[in-house]
Structure 1
Amino acid sequence: MSGPRIALADDQALVRAGLRALLERQGITIAFEADDGASLLDGLAATPVDVVLSDIRMPGIDGIEALVRLRARGDRTPVLLLTTFDESDLMLRAAGAGAQGFLLKDAAPEQLREAIVRIAAGDALLQPVSTDPVRARYRYHAADAPAEPFSVREVAILRLLAGGYSNREIARSLFLAEGTVKNYVSTILDKLGTRDRTRAVLKAITLRVI
């Protein structure tokens, strides 16, 4: 079983070692490792890879700033960022900077491999978050939020809308039909009382739905 060549960036050596062992068993080649954004950028300048797998939070140049600099120098290497649920604001910034995907750090090994393979093939990916954290976060802001709650799927779609993804890209990311995504977007607009996607995203961010 062979897979893409990746660059692995995380400031914790034990985390990198664990990910390397896990991925190499699944046929993923680790072309090089980096312990911060600066060494990641240097490595990518010398060693092309199929996918960058990077933590968001790193000292110095973090995962998002590294992504911004990578895109600024014209490097379109797909980037998959490892994140936690409470980093949704960072996820929005990273999506705007050109990240191809996000994966929660508690993802199963097979999910991680699938995400790397899909992104290497040109897909975009956002792992839907678990129901309980979404509901807990939503209840916390319930006084300011629309009267009708958002489903987990709607929150996932809102995040992708915030990242500038098209209906087709959202459909591919979430394994849905494009028509189904259009229906979801229409429902989201109705719940937020807005007429277009941009206003819906801005209102969702303001209300801290995403």
Structure 2
Amino acid sequence: MSVIRLALADDQALVRSGLRALLADFAEVEVSLEAEDGESLLAKLQQQPVDVILSDIRMPGVGGLEVLRRLRAAGNATPLILLTTFDEDDLALQAAEAGAQGFLLKDASPEDLLEAIQRAAAGETLLAPVATDPVRARYAYRDQSPPSDTFNEREVSILRLLAGGYSNKEIARSIHLSEGTVKNYVSEILDKLGTRDRTRAVLKAITLRII
């Protein structure tokens, strides 16, 4: 198996050195280039292509999301995983819609780090909302009564991830909540939609254009 060439970008030298040290234990990955901000990362990538990019989502100037958008706009499809310590309602959706392959917490275990990189290198998307238009075009949920209450951004994000087939555990890890908290959100979503299970909730949410 060929070695995965990795680009590592974070404005904190300590974080970069820590991640590099973790990855040094794995023969499957080689850190080919490092950058302290998005502009530097973009410039270096032009000179040295890699297999996977691991970038902090928040850096001075150009952050990870903007790097992602610029790469995709330029036709560069190199898999990109965003590093984050932040808990924001719509961060997962913003990143997925911009073309990210997934999220990784900075305190992820070495095994999770390696798995995420390997899966991204293999072309897998670790986290992405489902495309709802084809479902809406083919299927209308029979109960089209309005929900009992409005949905906030976090609930819509979780609904989109449910539509993508993600488990409570996967959703919890991706948006940095406990699994129990996600379970509570899902219960609240079901109550608002008046549905008995996740599948019915997703189909009704798609039909009503909530997602």
Report which of the two has the higher share of helix.
1
Structural mapping, 1:46-195, within 5 Å? 46-84=47-85, 86-126=87-127, 128=170, 129-130=172-173, 133=178, 135-136=180-181, 145-147=189-191, 186-189=199-202, 193-195=204-206
Deviation per residue, 1:145-194 (Å, 9 max, x gap): 54279xxxxxxxxxxxxxxxxxxxxxxxxxxxxxxxxxx8623325xx43
84 and 133 in structure 1: CA distance in 2 versus 1, 3 angstrom threshold: farther
- 2:205 is paired with a residue whose SS is coil
1:206 aligns with none
Rounded Cα–Cα distance in structure 1 between residues aligned with 2:201 and 2:44: 42
1:26 aligns with 26
Amino acid at match of 2:31: I
TM-score by length of 1: 0.67
- 1:53 is paired with a residue whose SS is strand
Deviation at 1:108, TM superposition (A): 1.2
Could you list the structure 1 runs, at least 4 aligned residues long, displaced by more than 3 angstroms after superposition.
134-142
Rounded Cα–Cα distance in structure 2 between residues aligned with 1:104 and 1:88: 16
Rounded Cα–Cα distance in structure 2 between residues aligned with 1:140 and 1:96: 22
Q: Which runs of 5+ in 1 are unaligned?
A: 150-183, 202-210
Rounded Cα–Cα distance in structure 2 between residues aligned with 1:123 and 1:140: 27
1:35 aligns with 36
The answer to whether structure 1 residue 199 and structure 2 residue 199 are counterparts is no
132 and 43 in structure 1: CA distance in 2 versus 1, 3 angstrom threshold: closer
Rounded Cα–Cα distance in structure 2 between residues aligned with 1:103 and 1:36: 18
- Which has the larger displacement, 95-104 or 37-46? 95-104
* Partners of 1:2 and 1:26 within 8 A in 2: no
Rounded Cα–Cα distance in structure 1 between residues aligned with 2:202 and 2:55: 33
**Identical counterparts, % of pairs:** 53
* Partners of 1:3 and 1:117 within 8 A in 2: no
Deviation per residue, 1:24-61 (Å, 9 max, x gap): 21121111101111111001111000000011111110
Figure out how many residues of one structure are paired with residues of the other and give that number: 163
Rounded Cα–Cα distance in structure 1 between residues aligned with 2:182 and 2:86: 10
Rounded Cα–Cα distance in structure 2 between residues aligned with 1:17 and 1:2: 24
Q: Which runs of 5+ in 2 are unaligned?
A: 128-168
Rounded Cα–Cα distance in structure 2 between residues aligned with 1:145 and 1:188: 8
56 and 46 in structure 1: CA distance in 2 versus 1, 3 angstrom threshold: same
1:3 aligns with 3
Rounded Cα–Cα distance in structure 1 between residues aligned with 2:33 and 2:182: 37
